[in-house]
Structure 1
Amino acid sequence: MTFTRKQTAVILTLAAVIFGFTLFQASWLADNPSGKPKLVADHAAEPVRDSAGCVASANSGFGGNTVGSDVAALQVAAGSGASAIRVTTIVTDSGLRAAPQFESSCAADKARPLATVAEVRSGLTRPEIFWQVGGKAAAKQLVASLPKPAIDVADQNIIIGDDATASYINGLRPSHSVFSIATASKCASDYRLSGLWGSVPASCRNGTMLLTIDDLGFTLWGWPNRFLARMKDANVRLVIAEDVVDGQIKGLTDVNQYGDIANSFNGYIWVDNIEELGPALRR
């Protein structure tokens, strides 16, 4: 088949555009990012139980009170390779408390007081905490209960909430430490359009992007290294999870899922079973 000069010019122009776009998004042209991924434990580790299946009697040594079983279970998760852990909070008649970290049918466990925010924070000296709260009132209590400066220390207290939560925190001081699952997911979808031109959207800048395993690949423009470089320049916190189900983050459940994530990724990986997935990543 022969082509006219005009057809040949069109073909060469298209080839040049495709080549230029491919080169523009080429991961290998970006430097390897520094740092390693941080694992986020979705919940506390399964605690040690006594012969009757009770927890509080066996693990009540923290601070001389029975909230120690919850804090001990969180610390075990941190010791299994977590760099951070999610702590869900609930509003009770006594104020904001950490939600129960495990199920138990024992009367002693059901009767134990729930740990306060201050008790959790002081008991967990190592990991970062993703505090999950709902609404302005809970966010206000959380900030009041945390050591100062609660929202100024990068990646020590990260807050997940709704729009009201983010509005309250940012009203105190615009902060990188707060995000909602909805806005973090929107950041990812917005980038699929703006990333074509190498631009990080406003919905991402100085915020958080939540990605699922299925989001990764060549359509995540510049993935991995050029993408990571763009996110670093825009001060974007990156979180990879297995999925988002009913508006909640679902962590990785299988060690084989690590193979879907680029070796150069240095953001957060949300995991469901830290006792198994933590040691597996660090081998």
Structure 2
Amino acid sequence: MLRSECLPNPPADFEARLMDFVDFNDTVLASRLRIRERVMRVESALLSGPQRAADECRTDLWATLAPAAVAEEAEQVRLCLSEANDRELQVRLLEKFRQVIEHAGYALPEDDEQLLQQLELVLVRHPELLRLAYRRFRHAQVADVEVPLLSELHSDVPLERAQRGLYGIFPPGLNQDEIAVARQLDASPLVHWWHRNPVRKPESVALYRWDDGEGFYPDCVVAMMQRDSHGCIALLEVKGAHLWGEPKEIGKAAETHPDYGRVFIEGLRRGERVFHHLRVLEHRLETDGLFTLDRLGHV
């Protein structure tokens, strides 16, 4: 048996229950109006370099965009919650937004169209608002469960034999980088057995506490000869160089399994043949020494 995380299906009233976790605080409410930032602030930002200036001017940018452009951006923010019905989510958000404004003692806009425009402006100025609400709501429902390993693996085509593969073969569907790493696992006396972790199967090892509901299925489950973790298990993910700057991949690199510890991320620089351990550095994955299997023996 292996240990995994499980996220149950969302409840039927998902959008309504999510509203209990959406935090329209005073700072958020203050950003609902189309007020330009003071010119002094923009000019001072220019003295701090282009990146600082871009960050400082973002709020001012949304204040000058046409309502249709803001509405389109707000829709993309909502659609990030793939479990939600977007129309129902917008209705629920608008109603809660109205209630919070009234409770805070602020005057409501003249009509629902203006109220909706204010809500959309809030969503684009605070894109983390829904993501944080989702995490507070759904992460509390993630459960730690046991998943069974298959007793045998069936294939309609002959497969290459593997010395330490759990089923005695190299499984189908591995890409070039994954095959190279699997061969290193298979040849190492430090490895008791290794197993290609399937995606979205009853026997999968999944991680759900790292993001907004999308399961993370590390490429390989590795049983080391010695490791201070449940069953001496380590989790390993092979990451192509073209993905090292992707936000979701960075989030995966920071994930920790409750029983097996952190996920080891390995990758190959473009044009090179030697794999490296990867770690998060300045909002992207960067190399952290040559890939050696003895590191998998440490939690």
Task: Please state which band the TM-score falls in when normalised by the shorter chain.
Answer: under 0.3
TM-score by length of 2: 0.21
Larger Rg: 2
